[in-house]
Amino acid sequence: MVFDSYVFAVFFAVVYLVYICLKGVRSQNLFLLVASYFFYGFWSWKFLALLVATQIVDFHISKGLVRLDDQSKRKRLMWLSVIVNMGTLGFFKYFNFFTDNLQEVMRAFGVEVSDVTLNIVLPVGISFYTIQELTYIIDVYKRRVRPAGRFVDFALFVSYFPQLVAGPIERAERLLPQVQSPRQIHWDDLVEGTWLFCWGLFKKVFVADRIAMLSDSVFGAPEAASGPMVVLGAVAFTVQIYADFSGYSDMAVGLGRMMGFRLMYNFNLPFFAVSPSDFWRRWHISLSQCLRDNLYIPMGGNRKGFSRELSALMITMLIGGLWHGAQWHFVLWGAYCGGLLVLERLIRMGAPHGMIIEPRETGSIVKRLAHIAVMFPLTALGFLIFRAETVGDVGELLGNLATGWESARAALPQLKELLICTWLLGGYQIAHYFSENRFVVFKVPVPLRAIIYLIMYLSLTLGAPHDARTFIYFQF
């Protein structure tokens, strides 16, 4: 069941009607938990059992962390949660990856081994809910938050259906109090929530799914892609993955707003980033914060010397790359992103004062645009690595960059399609950037707003592809 399906529309209509009719937090939470389990079980009831099992384990571990005073026992209990959650994630997501590579290494040394690859299906959303449960246990262990007293509240915090499958990854200090407290739904929540859902739907169905046909044609046959098509393919996929993933996040936040929950915004104009570190403050914000708080800072962050900081940055991004998938090109992408962050730190050390622009710095718009103009191609190059099927394909695509420019006009139809798909998204992003208002659509004159709504409606009904595509981040 996905947000852009008629099945979900019926599901949400029924859930919402019952939800607003129920009185009291306990009855609402119990109903939402049952609805969330049904939503997840719609994919697989077997994997629903896995989700519930990990929740039962972590709920009792969190209660034990509060009861115990002995720090060594508390630490062992915390590590039990880490082992259970990471062991489960590691088996389903990384077992074949590590065994295949171990077999290759052993064969390189002349040791013949038999294949032990298993036919494992990756449970949808396992990376997201595993991190959310783990950060909860770590926060309870560090006494940052008090654990939920009722299993229903904790389970709903983990499996609330708008953000269960692909985030945002919510911290307990933000979402758990909302789960435990009475919710009030105001008119602004309904209006802004509906806009977020419709805007996210437009980004996913019209922008991402149409551009996918262009990016697939390039990355599906890298050996045949000319230089102009490689550039177009990289830019197309960069926009596609943003529209796809931020579209899901907008829909999730919008659904939450309509139900009285304030989920965090997961994206904040990432293509207007002025540096690699600024990009990660704007892209997949919930994951960036989790990696920062639970990997980068515990490894020393910027508190234990410059070389330690650079090592922590690189290790954090390598793990972040591997989190996205058990393939070497994701590790390469993580190394590339880590390398950009390291390079930024090195430049900051030697750059003259005023050369590097800070994310919140006001000043010359020309200097800011110049930084953005440098950062976007670097981002697109990173997503070329991300989208390629193998490391070999990365090399082939990069090798083809220098070819075919004498016949660049042949790529004009694809460029035209890319512009048709993105002009409204780009225009709204620019308006959002300069107004610093995510809901700038409500600030324009009513006739112009009506035109925007009409364009979105016609795009979805007449311009959307016939074949629906699943969200990209469902595979992670």
- Cα separation, 53 vs 59, whole angstroms: 10
Query: Is the Cβ–Cβ distance between 73 and 111 less than 8 Å?
Result: no
Q: The tokens 């939402």 sit on which residue?
A: 32
> Tokens 């979900």 belong to which residue?
8
Q: How would you label 21-35 residue by residue, b for 16+ Cβ within 10 Å and e otherwise?
A: eeeeeeebbbbbbeb
Of the candidates 406, 422, 430, the one whose C-alpha atom is nearest the C-alpha of residue 206 is 422
Residue 116 class from Cβ within 10 Å (0-12 exposed, 13-18 middle, 19+ buried)? exposed
Query: For the purposes of burial, counting CB atoms within 10 Å of the CB of 470, is it exposed (0-12), middle (13-18) or buried (19 or more)?
Result: exposed
Q: Which of 186, 284, 324, 466 is catalytic?
A: 324
- The verdict on whether 329 is a catalytic residue reads no
**Which amino acid belongs to residue 2?**
V
Name 366's Cβ contacts closer than 8 Å, sequence gap at least 6. Answer: none
d(CA 121, CA 100): 16
Question: Quick one: DSSP state of residue 461?
Answer: I
Tell me which residues are annotated as active site.
324
